[in-house]
Amino acid sequence: MQAKIFHATDHDIDHTHIDKDALNVIHRLKEAGFQAYLVGGGVRDLLIKRTPKDFDISTSARPEQIKQLFGRHCILIGRRFRLAHVRYGHKIIEVATFRSGENDSDLIIQDNVWGSPEEDVMRRDFTINGLFYDPSNHTVIDYVGGWDDIHHKVLRTIGDPRTRFKQDPVRMIRLLKFQARYDFEIIPEVKKALLDCREDLIKSSPARILEEIFKMLESGYSSAFFHLMMKAGLLELIFPCITHFMDGPYGKEIYHYLSHADQMNLYSRKTLDRSILTCSLLYPILEREIRKQYLDKALTPHIGEIMMLTSSLIKGFVTSSFSHFPRRHSVTMSFILSTQYRLTPLTGKRHPRPKLIRNKEFELALIFLKMRAQVNPELQVAYDYWREQYKSTQKFHHTENRHPPSKAAPRPRFNPDDRNDEFEDDEE
């Protein structure tokens, strides 16, 4: 296949938006006589004026040659297919050797099948991810039509879509991920293949699927993504519990929480913790269950009953899901959700809780309360109150750690008259 070459006059890729260490890796590989290009999502994002998260490099150099070139700054990973990680401080630039083979099954039969740039790009999923960029002469190299598809805002597989989805069903999730993130149109042939192959999704690795879901929850485009997953019938294969709720009259509440989680992820320096993001899916369901089982019957549940209901909901969600959640993740979710009813009690009576605030997971619960306050501005007062309580506690412990008591200092005896019941943690 003849590549199309697009020169600097055809695009306006700005090298100041390319990681200088990635440019250095390419320069050193080329200086040593190898082919080396930026590849994949980094090139795509540069062309559509988005800041790339990663700068992956493909090269004709074999892993051992890359290791020899970069010495102690490079480690080789992987068994079936070896990759080179070139380290610059805490940063890692991933460098892969061009591969050959028509599909992933070839790799299972024979490891480390090296190839040409053209063979390598034919293994990739979508045309928009199949472009090379050579920073030495500012050229974009296109074997698959990705240049036109980016400019026409079209999503197309490289090769037959049914075959590509059968080879790796996770590509169906990735397809919807790109549609949610870039608002590109899926061509009819690919859309039909997705609907025909959707049942194959459960043949994939549960861990890989969960990682793709988490990445989208962190991306800032989760609301659009979950809408597309629902529409395509993929979400019910992964999270039937959530799908059932989203199909009902209150399904829009989950989208409200996802939208606010998206805003927090897009405009904050730090991505929300994954347990908080999962809680944004479950909290509206928990709220409706409490209303149905208690509030609609003029009953006020005890905090212990809320904790049991929370535990039951999370257990049902985890056991019915296709993917397996780590136990620690479930425990943290349970704390975040049940703590909301201590921070904003159903009785309306709020009490200071020093012990609760000192819990190492309290900050996560506080951040989720912030999200709730964005969904429902009436909760802003409660959020401000608990934020001040938390800040005061943090300052106290910081001062305490800076001035530890002398080892020789006698321990003061307990005096019942000194006890301040107002600030005791009352376990309800």
Is residue 425 one of the residues assigned to a domain? no
Residues 326, 332, 334, 339: what is their CA dihedral angle, to the nearest 10 degrees? -170
Q: What is the pLDDT of residues 76-121, one digit of tens each?
A: 998 878 999 999 999 999 999 999 865 544 333 445 688 999 999 9
Q: Please state, for a pLDDT cut of 90, what percent of the chain lies above it.
A: 81
* pLDDT for residue 259: 98
Structural domain count, the chain: 3
* pLDDT for residue 348: 75
* pLDDT for residue 261: 98
CATH number, residue 271: 1.10.3090.10
CA distance 60 to 90: 26
CB contact burial 224-236 (16+ within 10 A = b; e otherwise) = bbbbbbbebebbb
98 and 170 together in one domain: no
215 and 360 together in one domain: yes
365 and 223 together in one domain: yes
CATH number, residue 144: 3.30.460.10
28, 69 contact by CB (below 8 A)? yes
Residues 159-185: what's their mean pLDDT? 97
Is residue 62 one of the residues assigned to a domain? yes
Concatenated DSSP letters of 203-261: GS-HHHHHHHHHHHHHHT-HHHHHHHHHHHT-HHHH-HHHHHHHTSTTTHHHHHHHHHH
Confidence of residue 353 (pLDDT cuts 50, 70, 90): confident
Quote the tokens at residue 423.
């600030």
Mean pLDDT value across the chain: 90
276 and 216 together in one domain: yes
Is residue 414 one of the residues assigned to a domain? no
341 and 212 together in one domain: yes
Catalytically active residues, by annotation: 54, 56, 125
* pLDDT for residue 416: 35
Confidence of residue 423 (pLDDT cuts 50, 70, 90): very low
164 and 266 together in one domain: no
Q: What is the pLDDT of residues 256-285, one digit of tens each?
A: 999 999 999 999 989 999 999 999 999 999
Is residue 422 one of the residues assigned to a domain? no
181 and 128 together in one domain: no
Q: Is 171 helix (H, G, I), strand (E, B) or coil?
A: helix
Residue 428, pLDDT > 80, answer no
243 and 387 together in one domain: yes
Residue that is last in its domain, among 152, 184, 214: 152
Q: What is the pLDDT of residues 361-416, one digit of tens each?
A: 999 999 999 999 999 999 999 999 999 999 988 865 555 555 555 454 444 443 43
Is residue 175 one of the residues assigned to a domain? yes
Residue 422, pLDDT > 70, answer no
The owner of tokens 């590989």 is 29
219 and 182 together in one domain: no
Structural domain of 199 = 159-204
88 and 166 together in one domain: no
77, 85 contact by CB (below 8 A)? yes
* pLDDT for residue 404: 53
270 and 220 together in one domain: yes
* pLDDT for residue 354: 81
Is residue 409 one of the residues assigned to a domain? no
Is residue 316 one of the residues assigned to a domain? yes
Quote the tokens at residue 365.
């619960």
107 and 163 together in one domain: no
Is residue 402 one of the residues assigned to a domain? no
CB-based contacts of 265: which residues, under 8 Å, 6+ apart?
218, 219, 220, 271, 272
Confidence of residue 420 (pLDDT cuts 50, 70, 90): very low
Residue that is last in its domain, among 152, 170, 196: 152
Q: Is 401 exposed, middle or buried (0-12, 13-18, 19+ CB in 10 A)?
A: exposed
* pLDDT for residue 418: 38
Residues 297-317: what's their mean pLDDT? 95
Q: What is the pLDDT of residues 224-255, one digit of tens each?
A: 999 999 999 999 999 999 999 999 999 999 99
Give which of 2, 6, 1 is closest to 148, Cα–Cα: 6
